[in-house]
Chain A
Amino acid sequence: MSMTTEEPTSETAAPRIDTGRNRQARTNGVILLALAALAALVFAPDSSGIATFRLSRPTDAIPLSDLAVPAELSIQIAAALLAFLGVRQFLRGGARWTSVSLGLGLLIAVAAFLVWATAGKAFSLTGMLQATLVRAMPIALGGLAGVLCERVAVINIAIEGMLLAGAFTGALVGSLLGGIGGLAAAVGIGGLFGFILAALVVTYRMDQIIAGVVINLFVLGLTSYVSSQIFQEHRFLNNAPVFRAIKIPILGDIPVIGPVFFQQNIFVYGAIVMVVVATYYLFHTRMGLRARAVGEHPRAADTLGVNVYRTRYINVTLGGMVAGFGGAWFTLGSVGRFDEGMTGGRGFIGLAAMIFGRWHPVGAFCAALVFGFADSLQQKLALLGVPIPSEFLAMAPYVATIIVVAGLVGRARPPAADGKPYVKE
């Protein structure tokens, strides 16, 4: 017998290894440099004068003076910062903080874009942030619904349909019983569709994506049918009261933060409370531990006596209720009237927010703010008369969604059993 023990090679110089992180850093570097070039060559030469950002309204308790910046200079500074961040990605150690650098870079680029759009004009920053939060709510609630479902490994493509059902029911019941009744009914109908989804995918083992698509088609058909069959004749059935903004004393008077966070309607407050509760539920309770176990390793949970099917039913129904609440936002939170297909893909954007937010309630909420920002930005930009066709501005949230799911901002790991039916033996 012979035995040759090889020398451990650790003392020899380790070969230079091209890791995935380095490749990611290079990609990010190219993006940052492209943004720098865009800012320096397209935006800066086209910007003259002063860009004025209004921070408060004259009626506010503590008025702040406007923020005025020289447009061309500040865009050049932004371009320089972007170029610095971009070049850094290619240097040694650039792979560290690469995602943070990219996020920072995108923020700077957006700021530069805003300055370009506002150059020579005035623009209410606080107003846009307030609109950001409002427009982010259905997305945040959709995303939260997605988190609740996917944490127990049920993919919920039907969020769009649940939002639509919530909007419709909110309008119908709200017209008859008033706002609170409408809200309760919307939550109930969302829960019902959540339960139906759970039944289809858990008990009848239907493909989760097909089940979601079908619920979307069904809700779209049903709400359109009823609104053309009934609402057109009986208009009073589609005329619900709208929840007005409630100003929270003292907190609502803080400049900028007050109007953005504490002068909102119950949908914004409700969403924030739900995010907090969901975080506590998922990560600090017995039920939450079991739910996450079901999403990661259902067989293990089953062998320990956790009822996988019941856990999935409960969480998906809860998710549906959250989505139903978010759906009521479209009618009871804004116009009081239901229109066919009025959710406009917000449910799917909510799913993107969930992915971007790494399957965490707080993450999904923050991601939703990004989409809400894109949404309110396109609205305000149209008012500023930016030389970009309005159709393209309207695409902004959708393009942002694609960029996010394409994972330019780092990829996270979904629950391990996500999308897989569990067959008890």
Chain B
Amino acid sequence: MQVELRGITKRFGEIVANDSIDLTIREGEVLGLLGENGAGKSTLMNVLCGLYSPDAGEILINGEPTVFRGPADAIQAGIGMVHQHFMLVPVFSVTENVVLGVEPTGLLDHLDLEKGRREVREINEAYGLHVDPDGLIETLPVGVQQRVEIIKVLFRSADVLILDEPTAVLTPQEVEEFFQIIDYLRDAGKALVFITHKLNEILEISDRISVLRRGKIVGEGDPAELTRPKLAEMMVGRPVTFDVAKAPVDPGPVLLDVQDLTVLRDNDEIAVDQVSLNVRSGEIVGIAGVQGNGQSALIETLTGLRRAAHGTVRFDGHDITRVSVRKRHTMGIAHIPEDRQRAGLIGKFSVAENMVLNNYYSSRFSSGPQVNWSTVHKSTARAVQDFDVRTPSVFEPVAHLSGGNQQKLVVARELSREARLIIAGQPTRGLDVGSIEYIHERLIESREQGCGVLLISSELDEIMALADRILVMFKGHVVAEYDTAEGPVNKSSIGLAMAGAAL
């Protein structure tokens, strides 16, 4: 089966997400689609799987022009998508998720789950997937959830599989396993589209590569003839250096000292298990690990959002284990939250209001019970300039800013006060390369001014580029620690630790 996109154009208001794109997908082949966050990859694939209808252009299946009126049509045509954010119902079992939408039924609309289970087992065997058909999704590891997504697509007998950023949530080891599954599928004659912004992976797995930038295809080629720098330049539109320049580490006294910390999740499961660590001033400590291994709970406890079940947290010699969020802010702990839209910003509030979201009460911005908004506006305007936040005015609702500018605003807020410790959770997730570089520079700058930085990221490359010391978290434990001052760190060794091999 061959799918051809011809001149696909998709607009959202005045933004052109896809600009007359041509693309061909062939069976028994992996097409790598490379592009930055916001380049239009996901939009293009949503057009292909029937979620969006294109404003112009056509889709040809085996040469026949086809119109998708909805996802059901695309599924019918044999096109299946594995979404970046899994489309699984957490409280359903594997089988229930797989059959949803194409349920085998009996009398009185009765749901025949037994038949579904049988088919799941068959697909399991055919492609070596090893998934328990009765497992409850929310209890399964992410890697397995992803395989459920693949089973879902195969259950609908799809011939074209679109994989949207499939490796973002996997450990390096899980990525290897995943690539094996892709090989199986390719050998079985499926057509695969592999969407990513990671250069190594696309070079490793693709048979052909297309590069998307600002909604246009800017380059195509054979992975054997392409190199990382070449691809990066095509993707970003200018030469990119992968190395972050920073001075040798010169750490000062211990700022943050965590001893024997245990933290529970809301459901009383242990999220952080007797962890001890410290951060000194003038160094960046990176915490690597696959999402969901306790990093979020650790950050929440360090910033006062979640109570510690056991252990102590000391900041600058003071015991802050039971100190409130606000008190920690005023003591000099800055926090860049993992999820800026949910926890870092208020979309309907103006840039200025967001700028003082956690320090409106300080004597700089308020007198008595009243906030001095004119002071706030002036100070925000200055910070907006300093941190290169692109906004028409300080009164603009932040929801109107781009993701990169929103994150710069959060960084501006957290770094423009007298912070001595910066806790940064996934500070560059979902940003374009320009914003990523900018935020990295700012974090390094803070380090050089003597701040301690605790960086939590699931992007191993980011941790390796920035951190002076690297801790690896797995299932709530710190399972390994590396010091970059003592020589280069072996990436695959970290990868193994992230998968729990060090235990």
Contacts and interface: CB of A to CB of B under 8 A. Distances in A.
Report A-B touching, CB under 8 Å.
yes
Interface of A: 1-6, 8-9, 12, 15-21, 284-290, 292-293, 296-297, 299-306, 416, 425
Interface of B: 46, 49, 51-52, 70-72, 75, 81, 83, 87-92, 96-97, 99-103, 105, 108-111, 152, 260, 262, 264, 266, 268, 270, 273-274, 309-311, 477-483, 486-490, 493, 502-503
B51 A425 contact: yes
Contacts of B92: 292-293, 296
A21 B268 contact: yes
Given A17-B309, A20-B266, A289-B100, A302 B480 contact: no
A301 B71 CA distance: 10
Contact of A300 (B89, B309, B483): B89
Q: 4 closest A-B pairs (Cβ-Cβ)?
A: A305-B72, A304-B101, A300-B87, A15-B310
Contacts of A296: 89-92
A304 B50 CA distance: 10
B111 A285 contact: yes
Q: Binding site of B, secondary structure by majority: helix, strand, loop or mixed?
A: mixed
Nearest to B502: A5
Contact of B87 (A9, A19, A20, A303): A303
Contacts of A303: 49, 51, 71, 81, 83, 87
B273 A9 contact: yes
A15 B89 contact: no
Given A8-B503, A300-B88, A306 B482 contact: no
8 contacts: A3-B482, A3-B493, A15-B311, A289-B111, A293-B92, A302-B51, A304-B71, A305-B71
Contacts of A1: 482-483, 486-490, 493
A9 B90 contact: no
A3 B91 CA distance: 40
Contacts of B260: 15
B87 A285 contact: no
A15 B273 CA distance: 10
Contacts of A286: 103, 105, 109-111
Nearest to B482: A3
Given A286-B103, A304-B101, A19 B49 contact: no
Nearest to A413: B91
A277 B477 CA distance: 49
A305 to B, nearest CB: 3
B486 A15 contact: no
A304 B100 contact: yes
A18 B102 CA distance: 46
A9 B274 contact: yes
A300 to B, nearest CB: 4
Given A3-B481, A304-B71, A304-B101, A17 B264 contact: yes
A293 B111 contact: no
Given A3-B480, A296-B91, A284 B103 contact: no
Nearest to A18: B309
A2 B51 contact: no
B108 to A, nearest CB: 7
Contacts of B266: 20
A12 B477 CA distance: 14
Given A5-B479, A289-B111, A416-B90, 13 more contacts: A1-B486, A3-B481, A8-B503, A19-B264, A20-B264, A284-B110, A285-B105, A286-B103, A287-B109, A288-B111, A300-B89, A300-B97, A304-B102
A425 B482 contact: no
B480 A5 contact: yes
A90 to B, nearest CB: 18
